[in-house]
Structure 1
């Protein structure tokens, strides 16, 4: 295609907010394109199939629920349900969660192929170093140790890592090929959501998400 014609297409896409030009002259998806993609993700067959089970889960544990799916930038929040408790943390739908220190990020990083997640982790570590932040895990070796624990327990946890006094616990929901389809994160104040794998609420959370996985498998 002639460069002039390509330029006209790009100008049209930018005007409609489907594309944007970056500072280095490269082009990326615009906000409207992201919204369109997010809308498709939100209405995926598997997620819609288990909506009633997700709301049942929330009513049983009382904590806030955050659903994340994988995107090229990392975990993106596609659904958020408020907690029943006085302090309610609601994550904005469309938010990209960090891999290093969020429950969703740690979970996806532990279940997806390493060549997908390592470049994103390295980018986050570089930013932390530039800003002088001391956030664990600090490097690839420490992450591999955390990954082993997450895979053994089949859950990830963030104990006040993003917000002081707010805990989050993430568990995987798998597709028919046993790949991670999306992540369910329970989040609440440390008073209502201990991150101890042996606690009653974590046991309930694991049982309910196991039921969700079995339900998907049986379809």
Structure 2
């Protein structure tokens, strides 16, 4: 019988460290069990997470402090990250995303579907608030509802996927309008009479409307009470993509006497938190929202 050579000692040590029997492959079926990784890579990950959270280039001292480690310790990890291109240094010596980091980010963004990614937030928001939640996207005719998560509260409103919302008379429409450039918004306003509860044909932008949009940009959300539908209250907030443009509008809807529309109220805070989580997922960095021209 031919003699079988034992596996090299290094392979046995590696298997032992991974928690597997010598000569076997790691058990991928035990996905639910916590698995040990490489501690040094965990530390490196903390530096990357701190850099992402900052959203701006950081000096060594500041980056190390944000990751909760000494500068001397952080420096060695950053040298390795520079070598493989996950981080780079700008002309001032600050650390920022490197070419490989940017490529990985672009791959992730390309795979994202805003509507699909928002499904979990929609369901969670409806469960947390006991209100109906609508999701609208910018469409060629204006903000168009694509998803509706209904609550136990009956809503007597003709809202369904495919409904195009008025830019003037609905919170969803005004939230989108607030971040559109002037030229695009003017074109859409010309057709606002065709939309749900639209304005008069050919209505232009009034001073009051411009002031309302400025207030929406300041607050980060808009409200509607008994308008355009009596008895219905709405809260709407924008979701931004990596370019700073509005890619989705999230809206809470409920009976006027039940849904708290105060900006400091729990429903508004839950709505804005959900919108901010989605924005971060789509690559938005705070302060990068496009400003209308």
TM-score normalised by L of structure 2: 0.52
Count of residues in correspondence between the two structures: 169
CA distance in 2, matches of 1:117, 1:96: 15
Higher relative contact order (CA 8 A, sep 6+): 1
1:70-219 mapped onto 2 (5 Å cutoff): 70-87=138-155, 89=157, 91-124=159-192, 128-129=199-200, 139-217=205-283
Paired position in structure 2 for 1:34? none
Higher strand fraction: Structure 1 or Structure 2? 1
Question: Structure 2 stretches of 5 or more lacking a match?
Answer: 1-111, 285-293
1:53 shift after superposition? 2.2
TM-score normalised by L of structure 1: 0.69
Q: Deviations over 1:61-82 (max 9, x none)?
A: 1111111111121111111110
CA distance in 2, matches of 1:141, 1:198: 27
Is the 2:130–2:151 contact (alpha carbons within 8 Å) kept by the matching residues of 1?
yes
CA distance in 1, matches of 2:165, 2:200: 19
- Residues 179 and 139 of structure 1: CA distance in aligned 2, closer, same or farther (over 3 Å): closer
CA distance in 1, matches of 2:244, 2:177: 16
Deviates more, 1:44-53 or 1:82-91: 82-91
RMSD: 2.5
1:5-24 mapped onto 2 (5 Å cutoff): none
- Residues 123 and 215 of structure 1: CA distance in aligned 2, closer, same or farther (over 3 Å): closer
Question: Structure 1 stretches of 5 or more lacking a match?
Answer: 1-43, 131-136
